[in-house]
Amino acid sequence: MTATPWKAPKLDAKLKIAIHDKMVLSRATEEMLIRMMRTGHGYFWIGGPGEEGFNVPLGLLTKKGHGPDYDYLHLHYRSSATILAMGSEPIDMLRQMRSTATDPYSKGRNFVNHFAIKPWNVVPVTPTIETQYATVIGTAHMQRRHGGDGLSYVTGGDAGSAEGDFWTCMNWSTRPDHELPVLILLTQNQFGISTPSSQTQNNRHLNERANGFGIRNACVDGNDPIASFHAIVEAMEYVRHERKPYCLQANVSRLYGHSSSSGANRYDEPDCIAPYEQRLIRENLMTQAEIQAVWDKHNAQLAEDLQKVIAEPMPGKEHVLQHVWHEGPAGN
């Protein structure tokens, strides 16, 4: 039995409001994670506040499910808005932030925003920021063989695109007669930790690197969720139907720096949420009061979630040797 073919949803008023809801949820969650780090409820924070304008539409457009009929996600650690847009529970991110034994993504073993969700084809996120470009070709290879319209997408930053696996991805996905359905995503936030892109790259758009491989590519303002939505639809339609790679760069902000290692303080960069809210008001889709209610709703729920998570058990000696080996039958 194959899955229902993917079809881009209509970007109507309801969806625009839903996008806002998920953007606020993502921002509120990330800000809660930062507060947790500051108040001793977690060791280290790294995440994606500032990328919601691109990552929420991406999550909403993902063909969600398990197996090659659905999209495989090779994410990096700034992809929280994508996962939340797909319907994950924010409390699970709080669990991973606090490193509880109840953390469903890693049982307290990995940093926050390092997901692993097999029912949704979200393969384990690693901090290498490059290996995802190498693994994406494997799931796409299986999808090419399987048929259907499922694709594999990979996200990485401008810094990670300097790694060799980025070039591996483009080379392997354009082998003659073996093109792969890979959507290569580059979120350009202008920094690799503290190093500005201007010191490490030429000033051309990163997506233009794909020209050398004959890969169709584009660049979009990732702070504009409507433009991002349309750009992702165009890219996904191409990859799903042509079964060939596409490279899409999104220019985004990094509102709280690289991680808690640099303080996680708010930086003066464009914020994708505020102008989007003004747009919704201008289009008479929401009022200021309704917008505020969205923030209040999510912040209240997150505060409640935190109290719950604080009471949950932490990993102990009995957890250390669990899952070193898989004991069941082979096959994901």
Partner 1 sequence: MANLAQAIRLALHYAEENLGVTDIFGEDVGAPLGGVFTATQGLKTAWNTPLDERGIIGMALGIAYAGGKPVAEIQFCDYIYNCIDLLKLCGNVTWSSAGEYHVPMVLMTPVGSGIHGSMYHSHSFESIATHIQGWKIVMPSNPKDAYGLLLSAIAEPNPVLFLAPKALMRQKGAELIPGEPADERTLHNLIDAPLGDRSDWQPNWPPVEDYRVPIGEAKIARAGTALTVVTYGRMLPVSVTAAETLAKEGVEVEVIDLRTIYPFDLPMVKASVEKTGRLLVINEDTEVTNFGEHIIRKVMDEAFYSLEVKPELLAGLDVPGVGLAWGYEQNSVPQQDDVLAAMRRLANERA
Nearest approach, Cβ of residue 332 and partner 1 (Å)? 5
Q: Applying CB under 8 A, which residues contact partner 1?
A: 67-68, 72, 103-107, 109-110, 114, 116-118, 123-124, 126, 128, 131, 133-143, 152, 164-165, 168, 171-172, 175, 322-332
Specify whether the CB–CB gap between 77 and 48 falls below 8 A: yes
Residue written as token pair 């949704």: 120
Distance CA 171, CA 245 (A): 10
Write down the residue that tokens 């696996």 correspond to: 165
Residue 284 CB, shortest distance to partner 1, in Å, is: 44
The maximal CA–CA distance of the chain, rounded, in angstroms, is 57
Nearer to partner 1, 138 or 275 (CB): 138
Q: For residues 112 and 127, give the distance between their C-alpha atoms in angstroms, rounded to a whole number.
A: 11
Q: Which is nearer to partner 1, 161 or 251 (CB)?
A: 161
What is the residue whose two structure tokens read 């503290």? 194
CB of 112 to partner 1, least distance (A): 13
Place of tokens 């190093």: 195
Range 66-102 burial, b when 16+ CB lie within 10 A, else e: ebbbbbbbbbbbbbbbbbbbbebebbbbbbbbbbbeb
Instruction: Rank residues 168 and 301 by Cβ distance to partner 1 and give the closer one.
Output: 168
Closest CB 108 distance from partner 1, rounded Å:
9
Nearer to partner 1, 67 or 275 (CB): 67
| Shortest Å, Cβ 115 to partner 1 | 9
